[in-house]
Structure formats: structure tokens, C-alpha cells
Amino acid sequence: MSDAAFVPGADPVVLVVDDADDDQRLDQCLARRVPELSRARLQGLIRAGHVDVDGATVTEPKRKVKAGAAIAVALPAPEPSNAVAEAIPLEIVYEDPHLLVVNKPAGLVVHPAAGHASGTLVNALLAHCGSELSGIGGVARPGIVHRLDKETSGLLVVAKSDAAHQGLAAQFADHGRTGPLERTYRALAWGAPKPVEGRIDAPIGRAPNHRQRFAIVASGKPAVTHYSTDRRFPASDPIASLVSCRLETGRTHQIRVHLSAKGHPLLGDTLYGAGFRTKANRLPAAVRERIDALSGQALHAAVLGFAHPVTGETLRFESPLPPDLDALLAALDTLPADAPGRSRF
């Protein structure tokens, strides 16, 4: 958490530059001291004239600051959200005045964007708790502090109050290094990773030649995934495996990129596993049908744990595989020991 609480529309919060940030960029200094606000958000506040240094407004994020300087940061009152409340059913597994945890189905987009102006999780949340929304992100809307891909199902925490948004954002920015933040996914992948458990540490950024894809690139953001193989189908020379992945960071498409880079893209993933379509055609009909029935990649956010940002209580939630992934798992379980494995595809 930062040195003081930020409340949209309230008086500015004043931070004094310490020796560690002497001669650092203003945005870098604030990013370290105010982890609940993204660096992009802080840069936007600076450019919009909401940050003063020693009483003078500064609009250049790269302006250097000196130890002892007083930085005043004001969060403007949130703008009304353009999103419209929609009565979309939600599976809420926990709720209190500060936050809620939902079990998101595959196919539900988290936030309105180009091509998805309605029918999103945010639209549903506006209908559910529209009068209790966090505005720290600049717009009066549910505090989305982390996201799941459209076709990824599972657990997602949403802030309802500014205090919850600040605390949750700080935990996600810390990646669980100093707290109980826990994010574990279950995935059905082609083949089986070797070794059976390990740590993938590879930076992720936009793929150079495909704007919808991400890839392991030297200039990407740090990304770390811990994985373990739970089951193999069949046990020897496996066609597929059930893999648990624990995130140490939370980059876009992180698990999909990391596992595909090891040669084990997720079943149903047409973006990163297109090369496995012909291999799927050689599987028994019962398995093919279950893969074809998937709306996207076989990935589920199964475990979510964090410290309650207001009470400090450690909360932990588990979600079983949804019916389509559970049915695929059952079909894979019927594969005979002499089924064609990876090496014989």
C-alpha cells in the first residue's frame, strides 16, 4: 500500500521523496510509492495536471525529482461510466460491502471494449451493485484489478469500494511476494510437460507479426509460471495432460504462451495451438467431440486467495472444473493405454 489513502475527489495526498528516489523520474517515483495505481494511470494524472511538485504543477512524467521534494497527487472525482447496467446472471461465491468474488463462465468478456460494448461482466456488476462502485480507476465502475480471458472460466475478485480497490491492486502489483495472494489454474494441455513440474521464467510481449498474439520476447515484461502435472492421458506416452499452473505474475495469455512455448498448447486453443488441429482428428470420436464442444482454450481459474484489503483476513476460494472441461477430462480418462501418443501422431 502507499503512504496514504487516495480517495477520488478528496484533497491531494502529499508524499515526500526519499533518498532512494533522488533524481528519479516523477512517474517512476510515484509508481513505487503508489502501487495501487498503475504507472499508466499515474502518467495520465501527471499529464492532466493533477500532480504538483513543491507547489508547482508538473505535466511531464519524466521530470526528475529530488530527495525532500513534496509531491501532491490529487485523484479527480470519477467520471460516469459509459457502460450500461444489464441483468446478466452471475455466480457470486462471496460478497461483502467492499468486494465480491465471482465464478466467471467461459465466453463472458470482463470489460467493455471494441466489439464488446455490452454483455460483459462489468455490465452485469453495474446491475448487481451499481450504487457501491469503486472510482479509483478514474471511472465509476466496478474495480477490475485483474482479468480473465474471454474463454477462460473461473474465479475473479472485484472491488466495490475504493479502499478495497487500493488494497487489492497493491497485492496484485506485489504478485504475492509479501502476502497470501494465490492464483492457481487448471489446464488441459497437449502432451505432457517435461519435467513433470517446474518453473517457466520467460518475458512476454506482443508477437512481432501477429497483433492478437503474445509471445516470449526479450523486450517483454517479466513473466513466471510454476506448473505441475496432475494426470496424464494415458499415463505412458500421453496424448494430453491435466496441468496445474500457479502464477507468479499475471501477463496477458501468460499460461497459454508459456505452455505453448514448451510444446504443450492448451486443448481448444486455436490461437496458440492451431498446429494441433490435425492431431486432434486422430483421436477417438468421443474425445474429439468434447474438444470440438469447447468454446475456447481448456483453462480454468480454480483457486484464488488473497488478504481481505480492509479486514486483513485471508480468504481462499476454490472452483471445480466447469461441465465442459469436466466432460473432456472424463473422455480423456477413457483413452486406452495403447492409444496413439504424442510420439506416434
Strand partners, 228: 197, 244
3-state per-residue secondary structure call for 209-258: CEEEEEEECCCCECCEEEEEEEEEECCCCCCEEEEEEEECCCCCCHHHHH
CATH architecture of 183-344: 2-Layer Sandwich (3.30)
Please tell me the pTM assigned to this model: 0.77
- Cβ neighbour number for residue 224 with a 10 Å cutoff: 17
Give pLDDT tens digits along the chain (345 positions): 455 566 666 788 899 999 999 999 999 999 888 876 777 788 989 999 999 999 999 999 999 999 999 999 988 876 655 678 888 999 999 999 999 999 999 999 987 776 677 888 988 988 888 766 655 555 555 678 888 999 999 999 999 887 788 789 889 888 888 889 999 999 999 999 999 999 999 999 999 888 789 999 999 999 999 999 999 999 888 999 999 999 999 899 999 999 999 999 999 999 999 888 777 777 889 999 999 999 899 999 999 999 999 999 999 999 999 999 999 999 999 988 766 554 544
Measured distance CA(97)–CA(4) in Å, rounded: 21
Query: Strand, helix or coil at 195?
Result: coil
Measured distance CA(219)–CA(330) in Å, rounded: 41
**Are both 13-73 and 79-174 of the same fold?**
no
Catalytic residue ranges: 149
The CATH number fitting domain 79-174, selected from 3.40.50.2300, 4.10.80.40, 3.30.2350.10, 3.50.50.60: 3.30.2350.10
Q: Where are the domains of the chain?
A: 13-73, 79-174, 183-344
Domain at 13-73, CATH homologous superfamily: RNA-binding S4 domain (3.10.290.10)
